[in-house]
Amino acid sequence: MTEEIIIAGFGGQGVLSMGKILAYSGIMHDQEVSWMPSYGPEMRGGTANVTVILSDERISSPYLKVFDTAIILNQQSMDKFEECVKPGGVLLYEPNGIHQHPTRTDINIYQIEANRIATEMGNKKIFNMVVLGAFLKIKPIVNLENVIDGLKKSLPERYHNLIPLNEKAIQKGMSNIKAHIIEKSILS
Amino acid sequence: MEVSDIIKPENQVFCKTQLLTDTTLSYCPGCGHGTAHSITMEVIEEMGIVQDTIGVAPVGCSVLAYDFMNIDMTQAAHGRAPAVATAISRVWPNKYVFTYQGDGDLAAIGTAETIHACNRGENIVIIFVNNGIYGMTGGQMAPTTLEGMMSSTSPYGRDVKTMGMPIKMTELVANLPGVYYATRQAVHTHKHVRKAKKAIKKAFENTRLNNGISFIEIVSNCNSGWKMTPNESNIWMEENMFPYFPLGDIKVNGKLK
Amino acid sequence: MSELKLMKGNEALAEAAIRAGADAYFGYPITPQSEVIEYLMTEQPEKRTGMVVLQAESEVAAINMVYGAASTGKKVMTSSSSPGISLKLEGISYLAGAELPAVIVNVVRGGPGLGTIQPSQADYFQSVKGGGHGDYHLYVLAPSSVQEMADFVEDAFDIAFKYRAPVLILSDGLIGQMMEKVELKDQQERLTDEEVIKRHDSWATTGKTNRERNIITSLDLVSEKMEARVHRLMAKYKKMEEEDLRFEKIMCDDADYLFVAYGSSARIAQKAVELGREKGLKVGLLRPITLFPFPKKQLLDLADQVKGMLSVEMSAGQMVEDVKLAVEHKVPVEHFGRTGGIIHTPEEVLEALEQKIIKENGSIRYHKTRESSIL
């Protein structure tokens, strides 16, 4: 099994940390992992993306052009990465702020209203965990136990009291995912 | 009486320190470097610290200091002796580490390393021989060349309007908290040699007590570069260098004078 | 017990330096390698092992601090990125000339000038041809994973002390910034001062005891002595080639076409091999792990087997010159690589092979014709 994922959004949405937790979960699952971020000053307030690969084998390129899954959290990233999903692959996105929804018909598209869910849960910071939950519902490449272990590894100890909240957010993400129906109006 | 009757151990009243090699000095006759070398080595010998002393040689006339000083020495790139000494002292905190540098090395190309080593208060001794000229490369202008003084790159005299005034490094670094002892000495008369040696001894004592930087400037002559006889150059030094670079302590025990 | 961690290349390198029993690190921040000194300052190895970490006033000061500590036989390291390495080159030349062991790390970014902070491999010439002034080389290790960023630190120290010569770890922004699973080795004890003296008393400046004084210098004003020094260096480099050349062959056994790539480009080229094999193309990859010494003989041998080679590097074409020299015009050799901080994709790399080498292969006549015209 090899899963090649791009996660893209604004800096501050937890793009990089979500990738990190996923990568750590992969290690807990005894997989090879790579986490390749865009870096530099453009990340501060601008767009951020990270390529995460989980595999049973040695990973060749950590930098890719096409992906099994794109997790897209803002419009700029949609513009850039919709076309980079392999045919038959997955595009998961958070619709808040998206004005041009995806139009491809050869991939599987899902929505997760992570912003709304995180707000309802009273902590906007768990936004990325809701998204992660949604992703794991579609692609259960690691189990929740691995993710919790990954969280423990990647979070400083002083935040470990927040792990139950993160777990709940992941579960919310899993239960609130929606398949995206491409509307006729967009296609025409 | 024959000469061989006189040359006997019991008649010996002075001998060269063991810490100077028998290699003939490459310095010009009349130059102050030889004296500065020998008092530095005498201090190390008298303190009995040769096995714990590491010297850092510069680029300039004294680049070959390691040919004459019979101690372990590392030769540094131009101006970088304080950085080299910093590292040696950090990885061997119980050793005595000193740099021996000229004015081009310490006050021009190595200004940043000098200032920052002093600012960090590294536990080292810096011996700075200031003769107001680049001797090794043939008498070019130094940052310490006096106003109006001629050199091969200031053939009409140093024009301070375009070149700035000669830089007073010892006063400059004395203002940094990391500097514990800053003094300006000379080595052209017996009296001055004795005082300079005392200053160098104090500096190494400071290292032993982990006090930080001891900065010893030695104002010296360069009869070749100045185009004078040794005697003329010493007189010229007293009349011209000393008024601008006055001798004496500038900072003692961490306090400015 | 070894330890599994998810770490950035830069962090893995820093942690490995502590665990390798390094005595000191002197550095200056620059993107994309600042995590090295940040990690060290956070970890406080002074408390863990007694290792000294100091942020110097400049890259120039840092490399001369390395020179100072190395001259006393201590295990010392520095790291920087391209513009900073340019500043260090004078000191690196001194390290080579004075025959001092030290480890220098370059996490390369795009240039020339201030260039870009994004990954690049355009410092190849600077790394393998000497870089600074005079007749010298560095032993150059090119890690292509976070694991190797960690492993190569100890390897680099071993080589540095084996030959009493500076060793360069040539990485880039991609390897430095990405995270992978890394297995960390156990903590090695730092040598005590007494052990350092015992081991290196024949040359290191640790204070003159009953022996002759030790002098560290790169200066020899007697020309014959200086020439002897240069010959001594050249003999070391020959020995490095005989004993410490490193490379990796991937899918080379039946290959008709060959990628030659190091560091991050080797990872990308490996994916291009996978994509090519899926298409039925017999593609292989030769990955030099040491860039100096360079696997010349291995390339020459492969030149008898393959129809063409593509040198892949994030530069305008540097290593390709060494590949060409190695294969002695036996097969066509071309270059492909993006610059300016752009990372080439595996698809681009495969396409370049198809267009520059495979297409040309039909016209291998071009080479044959030229050969016959020479004859």
> How far is residue C206's CA from residue C216's CA, in Å, rounded to a whole number?
11
Residues 198-257 of chain C whose Cβ lies under 8 A from any Cβ of chain A = none
CB contact under 8 A, C174 and A20: no
In a mutational test of the A interface, the residue from C178, C183, C345 whose CB has the highest number of chain A CBs within 10 Å is C178
Interface residue C275 vs chain A (CB under 8 A)? no
Nearest CA in chain C to A35: C179
Domain-located, residue C117 = yes
Closest by CA to C350, choosing from C304, C282, C287, is: C282
pLDDT above 70 coverage of chain C, percent: 95
Q: What is the predicted pLDDT for the residue at A12?
A: 83
The answer to whether residues C171 and C106 touch, using CB atoms and an 8 Å cutoff, is: yes
Mean pLDDT of A38-52: 75
The per-residue pLDDT of chain C, averaged, comes to 95
C174 plus C33 within the same structural domain: yes
Strand, coil or helix: what is A47?
A: strand
C195 plus C257 within the same structural domain: no
Q: Tens digit of pLDDT for each residue in B202-235?
A: 999 999 999 999 999 999 999 999 999 999 999 9
* Among the partner residues C54, C208, C215, nearest to B50 by beta-carbon distance: C208
- Report the alpha-carbon angle A136-A138-A140, nearest 5: 45
Closest by CA to B186, choosing from B219, B217, B216, is: B219
Domain-located, residue C161 = yes
Interface residue A43 vs chain C (CB under 8 A)? no
Question: Which domain covers residue C11, as residue numbers?
Answer: 3-200
Interface residue C118 vs chain A (CB under 8 A)? yes
CB contact under 8 A, C32 and A39: yes
The one-letter amino acid at A81 = F
* Among the partner residues C173, C180, C267, nearest to A60 by beta-carbon distance: C267
Terminal alpha carbon distance of chain C: 63
Domain total of chain C: 2
Q: What is the predicted pLDDT for the residue at C105?
A: 98
pLDDT for C41 beyond 70: yes
CB contact under 8 A, A61 and C347: no
pLDDT for C372 beyond 60: no
Domain-located, residue C237 = no
- All structural domains of chain B with their residue ranges: 31-256
C192 plus C260 within the same structural domain: no
C124 plus C252 within the same structural domain: no
pLDDT for C1 beyond 80: no
Q: Tens digit of pLDDT for each residue in A151-161?
A: 888 788 898 99
Residue B240: how many other CB atoms lie within 10 Å: 16
Q: What is the predicted pLDDT for the residue at B7?
A: 87
C354 plus C288 within the same structural domain: yes
- Matching residue, tokens 């096995």: B51
Q: Last residue of some domain: C168, C200, C232?
A: C200
Q: Tens digit of pLDDT for each residue in B123-177?
A: 999 999 999 999 999 999 999 999 999 999 999 999 999 999 999 999 999 999 9
pLDDT for A146 beyond 80: yes
In a mutational test of the C interface, the residue from A63, A68, A153 whose CB has the highest number of chain C CBs within 10 Å is A63
Domain containing C288 — which CATH number?
3.40.50.920
Domain-located, residue C234 = no
Interface residue A100 vs chain C (CB under 8 A)? no
* Among the partner residues C4, C178, C268, nearest to A35 by beta-carbon distance: C178
Residues 73-112 of chain B whose Cβ lies under 8 A from any Cβ of chain C = 73-77, 80, 83-88, 90-92, 95, 112
For chain A, count helices (H), then strands (E): 7, 7
* Among the partner residues A20, A37, A64, nearest to C177 by beta-carbon distance: A37
C146 plus C12 within the same structural domain: yes
Residue C49: how many other CB atoms lie within 10 Å: 18
Q: What is the predicted pLDDT for the residue at C2?
A: 65
CB contact under 8 A, C215 and B72: yes
Nearest CA in chain C to A50: C178
CB contact under 8 A, B88 and C72: yes
CATH class, A2-187 region: alpha beta
Domain containing C40 — which CATH number?
3.40.50.970
Q: Is the N-terminal amide bond of C293 cis, ω within 30° of 0?
A: yes
> How far is residue C140's CA from residue C163's CA, in Å, rounded to a whole number?
13
Q: What is the predicted pLDDT for the residue at C200?
A: 98
Mean pLDDT of B57-80: 97
3-state secondary structure string, C272-310? HHHHHHHCCCCEEEEEECEEECCCHHHHHHHHCCCCEEE
Q: Which residues of C touch B84 (CB under 8 A)?
A: 64-65, 67-68, 71
* Among the partner residues A27, A63, A66, nearest to C181 by beta-carbon distance: A27
C370 plus C308 within the same structural domain: yes
Name chain B's partners: 3 or more CB pairs within 8 A.
C
The yes-or-no reply on B/A contact (3 CB pairs or more, < 8 Å) is no
The ipTM is: 0.95
* Among the partner residues B71, B72, B87, nearest to C65 by beta-carbon distance: B87
The answer to whether residues A159 and A17 touch, using CB atoms and an 8 Å cutoff, is: no
pLDDT for A49 beyond 70: yes
Nearest CA in chain C to B49: C207
The one-letter amino acid at C203 = W
Q: Which residues of C touch B64 (CB under 8 A)?
A: 219
Nearest CA in chain B to C201: B72
> How far is residue C30's CA from residue C107's CA, in Å, rounded to a whole number?
10
Q: How far is CA C261 from the centre of its chain?
A: 13
Q: What is the DSSP letter of A6?
A: E
3-state secondary structure string, C120-171? CCCCHHHHHCCCCCCCCCCEEECCCCHHHHHHHHHHHHHHHHHHCCEEEEEE
Q: What is the DSSP letter of B24?
A: P
The one-letter amino acid at C130 = G
Domain-located, residue C32 = yes
Nearest CA in chain C to B68: C213
C192 plus C267 within the same structural domain: no
Closest by CA to A56, choosing from A37, A36, A29, A19, is: A29
Interface residue B131 vs chain C (CB under 8 A)? no
Q: Tens digit of pLDDT for each residue in C252-300?
A: 999 999 999 999 999 999 999 999 999 999 999 999 999 999 999 999 9
Interface residue B182 vs chain C (CB under 8 A)? no
The yes-or-no reply on C/B contact (3 CB pairs or more, < 8 Å) is yes
User: Does domain B31-256 fall into CATH 3.40.50.720?
Assistant: no
pLDDT for B8 beyond 60: yes
Domain-located, residue C207 = no
Q: Which residue has the higher pLDDT, C41 or A38?
A: C41
- All structural domains of chain A with their residue ranges: 2-187
